[in-house]
Amino acid sequence: MTKRFHMSRRTFLKVAAGGAVVVLGGGYLFRDQFLNDGNPSSTATDVIRGQRLPIPDLLTGTEIDGKQVYDLTMQQGSMVYVPGKQTATFAYNGNILGPTLLMHKGDEVVINVTNQLGEPTTTHWHGIHLPAIMDGGPHQIIDDGSTWQAQYTIMNEEATFWYHPHLEGMTAEHVYAGLAGLLIVKDPQSELALPDQYGSDDIPLIVQDKIIDADGSFNYPGTNFGVKGDQFLVNGAVTPVFDAPAQLVRFRLLNGSNARFYNFGFSDDRQFHQIGTDGGLLERPVPMTRLRLSNGERAEILVDFSGQQGSQVRLMSFSSELDGINPVYNSNALDNSTFDLMTIDVVSATANPTTDLPASLATISRIEEDQVSRTRSFELEMGFSGPMTINGVSMDMDRIDQTVKVDDTEIWEVVNSSDMPHPFHVHDIQFLVLTRDGSPPADNEAGWKDTVLVMPRETVRIITRFSDYTDPDHPYMFHCHILEHEDAGMMGQFVVVA
Ligand code: C2O
Ligand code: CU
Ligand code: CU
């Protein structure tokens, strides 16, 4: 498994103002790359589909000296996706993905992360507010055979977070091999009546795509612009079947794919409600029929199956309805289509179902722009023959790009100067989206977020406050969450200082 970003043999082309295709830099244009972005198709023809949706184990931790202690082991595993073939994987505590960590606001948690992969990596707590040295970014390397202990207090709001490797240059491959899990934060003070029976009416959905070869292996082609597969996995099973109770069901959606975006919806175009964003609940449920999620983003939705026992509906991605995600030089056939992710069979309701959609969910204390002490700009660029950059430079482990003063409120203005969309993610904090090309965000993006999609040539302004933790020596990351872009250098580092 090796890969570095390089542009040789890529199609160096750009759409000129008039829409004509111009070949740049002496590159030459392959008709098939032009149509399908260079990612190969799966060579397996008999991939096993339609298994019951696996529900990751729930780890509640063990209380030791007033702390909740969790144990994770990164290990090599084996799955069967093609009859009679073994698929080599990486996973936490099992064969694919990892257990869901359940944590409560106010808890002090200790997570022992043991590495038995046979190679170094890290484990990052995506979306969690914590000291930089506990973040699990590229500097907190866990060598093969060793255990890293992360320890922090949960200060986040009730929401769905996740954990995954973050080794410099290797994040994409490690996640693709199967390393990722959810981290659910609950607020013991909450009095909201939301579906919360894990695995019954409160369902995690980790959505990923893979290329599966005839020998059963996950094919990681290392495609420069991002690896996109044509097999869709939910919680590690290819287009599985979920038995939904005939009642209000909460889905916790994570786009855990390396590079593909999803435009979620149902085969009958039914309405559902988004109740949560990356880092918290929305003020009120937002009705919708489509939900766009880019890499690393999460959303909690409520879907009402009441009275529908015996019926079937499919969770799908209406990717072809997404505007602007397919620049001509990187067109992926499936991004121009509509495809199934999961079949839902509606079965009998549970004993005490949650029946009502709450009218209001949370109070979001908006940060006022007049509290801002500083505005910073981040320009995302991808050269046609060079590296991926932010503000003109690629990630350098030895360079701190930004220094923030603790307790400052800042606006970060993210400018996408490229022709590809980039999901911009910031460690440590949750932010609010102020504007998208000058307009306020859609209702379903008007909550706490740690990852925001910035479309080609778009500017997104976010506002946040950096609080509690300072450390001049250990940085947090900001980066594009298309994992191949991150590994190719579209990442930078910031420290929070006193
Ligand atoms: Cu999902 Cu830098 O992380
Ligand atoms: Cu993160
Ligand atoms: Cu990107």
Please tell us whether the domain made up of 369-497 is placed in CATH 2.60.40.420: yes
Q: Where are the beta strands (DSSP E) in 165-221?
A: 181-186, 202-210
Q: How far apart are CA 59 and CA 276, in angstroms?
A: 22
- Phi then psi for residue 276, to 5 deg, are -140, 150
Domain ranges of the chain: 58-184, 202-347, 369-497
Ligand 1 atom nearest residue 486's Cα: 2
> In a 10 Å sphere around its CB, with 0-12 CB exposed, 13-18 middle and 19+ buried, how is residue 357 labelled?
middle
The pLDDT of residue 326? 63
Ligand 1 atom nearest residue 127's Cα: 1
Residue nearest to atom 3 of ligand 1 (CA): 126
The pLDDT of residue 323? 78
The pLDDT of residue 6? 32
Distance 347 CA to ligand 1 centre (A): 37
> In a 10 Å sphere around its CB, with 0-12 CB exposed, 13-18 middle and 19+ buried, how is residue 36 labelled?
buried
Low-confidence ranges of the chain (pLDDT < 70): 1-35, 325-330, 384-386
> In a 10 Å sphere around its CB, with 0-12 CB exposed, 13-18 middle and 19+ buried, how is residue 128 labelled?
buried
Ligand nearest to the CA of 129: 2
Q: How far apart are CA 96 and CA 115, in angstroms?
A: 15
Q: How far apart are CA 226 and CA 470, in angstroms?
A: 34
Which residues lie near ion ligand 2 (Cβ < 5 Å)? 126, 427
The pLDDT of residue 36? 72
Is the CB–ligand 1 distance for residue 427 below 6 Å? yes
The pLDDT of residue 333? 86
Ligand nearest to the CA of 450: 2
Domain 58-184, second-level architecture: Sandwich (2.60)
202-210 and 58-59 beta bridge pairing = unpaired
Ligand 1 atom nearest residue 479's Cα: 2
Distance 429 CA to ligand 2 centre (A): 9
Is the CB–ligand 1 distance for residue 298 below 6 Å? no
Is the CB–ligand 1 distance for residue 479 below 6 Å? yes
Q: How far apart are CA 48 and CA 80, in angstroms?
A: 8
The pLDDT of residue 386? 65
pLDDT in tens, 445-474: 999 999 999 999 999 999 999 999 999 999
Sorted by sequence, the CB contacts under 8 Å of residue 86 that are 6+ apart come out as 78, 79, 80, 216
Residue nearest to atom 1 of ligand 1 (CA): 126
Kindly report the number of other CB atoms within 10 A of residue 81's CB atom: 27
Is the CB–ligand 1 distance for residue 139 below 6 Å? no
CATH class for the domain made up of 202-347: mainly beta
Please tell me if the domain spanning 202-347 has the same topology as the one spanning 369-497: yes
Ligand 1 atom nearest residue 137's Cα: 2
Is the CB–ligand 1 distance for residue 228 below 6 Å? no
Ligand nearest to the CA of 297: 1
Distance 449 CA to ligand 1 centre (A): 13
Element of type H or E holding 487: helix 483-487
Residues 7 and 384 sit within 8 Å (Cβ to Cβ)? yes
